[in-house]
Structure 1
Amino acid sequence: MGEYERSIKIQAPRRQVEDFMSDVSNLPKYLPTTKRAEPQQGERVRVEGEAHGHHYDSDGFFRVDKSKNRMEWGAEGEERYRGWLAAKGDENKGPTEVTVHLSFEPSPKISREMQESISSQEKTINESLDHALQSLKNLVEGTSGRPER
């Protein structure tokens, strides 16, 4: 249903950015709705948080593809989604451009609900992606953590 993509430039070497973003324990530090993330067996991860006043606790896949300089994640529940975070730049010196891409494939019921508020939904998702990227930038550059919303 929806495809979203945002980018940011981080003043750090690609390797440093990739090491930080691919560590599951760092996810709550830069993902706005995630409060807890734990690696599971294989390429699985369990995340817990709150989005739009609703608590979530779900498991999905999380994998790092070093050959493409990116990590990928997703879930196959009622609201299927997947995404990737990619880093481009010199391995040993900055800057590094980081792009996040998110795709949603909601169930028919959720799709109908989303259609009623599609413009605000798109704005909210884009703002959340920008917030996550800014948090990642702040943390990797050592300037601070999550910016206030």
Structure 2
Amino acid sequence: MAEYSDSITVHVPSARLFAYLADVEHLPSYMPRLTSVHPHEGDQVTVTAHIEPADAPEQDVTSEAWVHVVEEGKSLEWAAPSPHDYRGRAHVDEGEDAGTCRLTVELHTRHTGEQVEHRLKEALSGIKQAVEKVER
């Protein structure tokens, strides 16, 4: 198992970032491979992603997952059943400067290597860009 964690400062109030993240329909705006998200009753979601595996033709894949929004403490937890044991947590903290906040994302997966680290940074950057763009 591999554990990954990274953080980014976002120039919006923490409540604004948390509200944006808590709306799972925003996922495709900051997760480049996701093409659609359909929330269901409770924490369940169906996600579709466009992938380009090294050993197969590019394709769209659909899977079930769950996203649990924890209002107290401003965090989200998620998991997708797969052989990769993929799950994670995002936590929003107040920033050092007024009108900013700090987003930390932790991932747990069987995947290892620079590609996971790159995609984590890509997701953090995508969230920052998406929510700051909406804020303007």
Name the TM-score class by shorter chain: 0.7 to 0.9
2:126 corresponds to 1:135: yes
Deviations 1:118-149 (A, max 9, x none): xxx42111111111111111111118xxxxxx
CA contact (8 A) 1:61 1:74 kept: yes
**TM-score (structure 2 length as normaliser):** 0.85
Matches within 5 A, 1:70-89: 70-89=75-94
Residue of structure 2 equivalent to 1:21: 21
Residue of structure 2 equivalent to 1:102: 107
| Paired letter, 1:60 | A
Matches within 5 A, 1:1-149: 1-53=1-53, 55-89=60-94, 93-105=98-110, 121-142=112-133
SS in 2 for 1:37: strand
Structure 2 CA distance for aligned equivalents of residues 77 and 133 of structure 1: 23
| Cα displacement (A) at 1:61 | 1.1
Structure 2 CA distance for aligned equivalents of residues 6 and 69 of structure 1: 17
Q: Give the unaligned 5+ runs of structure 1.
A: 106-113, 115-120, 144-149
Structure 2 CA distance for aligned equivalents of residues 79 and 129 of structure 1: 16
Q: Give the unaligned 5+ runs of structure 2.
A: 54-58
| Cα displacement (A) at 1:14 | 0.3
User: What's the Cα RMSD here?
Assistant: 1.8
| Paired letter, 1:13 | P
4+ residue stretches of structure 1 with deviation over 4 A? none
SS in 1 for 2:17: helix
- Tell me the percent identity: 27
SS in 2 for 1:68: coil
CA contact (8 A) 1:10 1:141 kept: yes
CA contact (8 A) 1:32 1:128 kept: no
SS in 1 for 2:82: coil
| Cα displacement (A) at 1:43 | 0.9
**TM-score (structure 1 length as normaliser):** 0.78
| Paired letter, 2:120 | L
From the two aligned structures, give the one with the greater helix fraction: 1
| Cα displacement (A) at 1:104 | 1.2
Structure 1 CA distance for aligned equivalents of residues 103 and 115 of structure 2: 20
| Paired letter, 1:104 | T
Deviations 1:64-88 (A, max 9, x none): 0011211111022333211011100
